[in-house]
Structure 1
């Protein structure tokens, strides 16, 4: 345990008796049994990136509980959320007593000296990731000496984004042997799985046909997608559209629209297979999306042509080699779509005309492949940081179990 510098001692004394409302244990979710990993971030995009990291960790340690603090984002059902306590010792102790985390992944340049000090005092490991060359901030009074160096000293390991960030941390006195340059943390997607046999069978069946996918469709988007498919089919007579509703409860409403449009339909969930005359392959829901993203070189990600919907993560499509089309209503996933669009991996469409034009243009294999490659490179840009964090956390928890 590092010695507390004067600035930290003074800060802790100032925050010892500050009156704040302390949440009762009964107001918090129940602590998961077994080991608990606590992760904290300061932005929605970092939070989503951390969630994907935790999903990777839980693939190797499915018994691990995960607590998230930070901006609200959609979380995995196996994870728990809470608010970060204020910098008040009573509230912090209540938080730590209830959750009793075994390790904390901190992803923020906004440091919390009291919280991190008390966390370390309780024997919870601390790892800071995605540390770049920005200033470190603390909520201490201006007259106090800089609290950042003493607070950073509580971390066991810091993963820096580049050599400039590493040099800055070394100048602040952080031990170089506990510094790792691992690249930036970016949002990623755990690739959706599928049957290898089924993929090989469908790829062989559709090898000579142009194919595009409408993934996670809302019923209000089906008519637009079908009309765009009809227009694109005039230029590519063997074009096949795979329709995947987002909600299985909508399958009947979607099926009625597809049948009414007059296309020759293959009902996948009824056991049918597409033949040369099939124009639309209709599924009941997203269960087999891992297969369809692999089969279709071009994917329109639904929930984006209807205002007011939360949108869907485009990274799951990019991770499996699909060029991406999307509408303007992407909700909370704007940052991911923007990143893919800037890389040339995704293109926005606003209506039937632009969707039909984009499909006609991008079903050419070379064009779709160029976009898919750009998407793959974007998704894997933060793979180094993600891999290091996953390996580090799995190793830490394995060693805990061994002792």
Structure 2
């Protein structure tokens, strides 16, 4: 896609102007159209002690600016993936982050106090060309200022959770007015859509779409290596313990021993979370007297192999493809879990996991709802789940459900990027004709 054209007469290196709340041609008519609840909230938020504060913001980057607001770490991960793809299509675009900010972000700021003067100052300084919002914490004054500035605003991943605003409880609800200021709201379910309609969101604003996740390219694997390993294990049932921390090693081996009593040909692949965890894996294997293949030493599994031990996650792309079932490590022991389940789902693995999944809870929940993942609690429940899910028809059904979640998220990303491109192109065209 061609880079966005600057407006006629735009001086290279300068910020592109946007209309800011309070301009004469919009101010009076905007006040007349505001709902009573919003007008009362805006009047209250214009307290003298907050009216004239001006944070020391860094310099605005040159050219076009996309503003991304992430309420949570999961939102940040999803927006980060979205930003990388958007920048591929619009390499001249800069990104402003608010809320949770990636370590690699070049431009970030704290949200202003939620009053029209503070919001107008924020927009006057940063002059974003498009805003994308995630989360349920709405800022009515900020959204009103964006509306008056004719700044296109999108919300993604709107679900069934209740929205909140900074308004006191005794004030009329400002949520409907705040939601009305979004040009497009991508909602993730029928219930979310019904909830938004009850808040006065119009048909023109709503788009039903799957949850936008932090999809990453599938882990790589040489096709020849995959073929060799698949031939070596033959038709044996095989399961994978991926990114396994030291504290979970014994639990995994106990589960494998228990399951192996009813499935003698069952094969386990253990991939430690780090190279430092490999020693614990070897010690656990020795304690159980299982016949072990040391992958990084050049061993190849044979018919008598019971466990394949790896040194590190370097070749997880291979093992996700070989094993139809994967337990995602760190989720049984508290404080350990940080494995994105989409990396397994994208490569055709049915998923087992424990209750401690940290920032990926929303993604695991989506996979469970789709029938692609199942929670376990300890070695006994893990061993039982392995025996049940390893059945070819069950594993295939779960893997297919997981793939559908992955592809639906990718389709949502495509739709959001198309909407971003459309809105930016429209703004560029409007500037060119002025």
TM-score tier (shorter):
0.7 to 0.9
Tell me the CA shift for residue 86 of structure 1.
2.0
- Assess, with a 3 A threshold, how the Cα gap between structure 1 residues 112 and 217 changes in structure 2: closer, same or farther: same
CA contact (8 A) 1:110 1:136 kept: yes
Higher Rg = 2
Residue 256 of structure 2 aligns with which residue?
229
CA contact (8 A) 2:30 2:148 kept: no
CA RMSD of aligned residues (A): 4.3
Residue 8 of structure 2 aligns with which residue?
none
- Assess, with a 3 A threshold, how the Cα gap between structure 1 residues 212 and 58 changes in structure 2: closer, same or farther: same
Task: Give the TM-score taking structure 2 as reference length.
Answer: 0.71
Deviations 1:29-83 (A, max 9, x none): x9788755333355x4xx625632541441452566555444x6x9574587654
User: How do residues 125-140 of structure 1 correspond to structure 2 at under 5 angstroms?
Assistant: 125-130=152-157, 139=166
Residue 192 of structure 1 aligns with which residue?
218
Residue 316 of structure 1 aligns with which residue?
343
Separation (CA, whole Å) in 2 of partners of 1:365 and 1:173: 45
- Selected match of 1:37 from 66, 84, 107: 66
- Assess, with a 3 A threshold, how the Cα gap between structure 1 residues 240 and 60 changes in structure 2: closer, same or farther: farther
CA contact (8 A) 2:230 2:322 kept: yes
User: How do residues 74-89 of structure 1 correspond to structure 2 at under 5 angstroms?
Assistant: 77-78=104-105, 83-89=110-116
User: How do residues 140-179 of structure 1 correspond to structure 2 at under 5 angstroms?
Assistant: 154-159=181-186, 165=193, 179=205
CA contact (8 A) 2:232 2:300 kept: no
Residue 183 of structure 1 aligns with which residue?
209
Deviations 1:237-274 (A, max 9, x none): 33222212223343344344445544444444445443
User: How do residues 248-267 of structure 1 correspond to structure 2 at under 5 angstroms?
Assistant: 248-259=275-286, 261-267=288-294
User: How do residues 1-400 of structure 1 correspond to structure 2 at under 5 angstroms?
Assistant: 3-6=29-32, 7=34, 12=42, 14-20=44-50, 24-25=55-56, 36-40=65-69, 44=72, 48=74, 51-59=77-85, 61=87, 66-70=95-99, 77-78=104-105, 83-89=110-116, 91-92=118-119, 95-96=122-123, 101-108=128-135, 110-119=137-146, 124-130=151-157, 139=166, 154-159=181-186, 165=193, 179=205, 181-185=207-211, 187=213, 189-197=215-223, 198-259=225-286, 261-380=288-407, 384-394=411-421
- Assess, with a 3 A threshold, how the Cα gap between structure 1 residues 224 and 17 changes in structure 2: closer, same or farther: same
Deviations 1:103-135 (A, max 9, x none): 211235654232124345667542233457998
Tell me the CA shift for residue 191 of structure 1.
4.7
Tell me the CA shift for residue 218 of structure 1.
0.9
Q: Which moved more, 1:184-193 or 1:132-141?
A: 132-141
Q: How many residues align?
A: 394
Separation (CA, whole Å) in 1 of partners of 2:240 and 2:106: 31
Structure 2 segments unaligned to the other structure (5+ residues): 1-18, 20-25
Tell me the CA shift for residue 393 of structure 1.
2.7
Q: Which moved more, 1:297-306 or 1:307-316?
A: 307-316
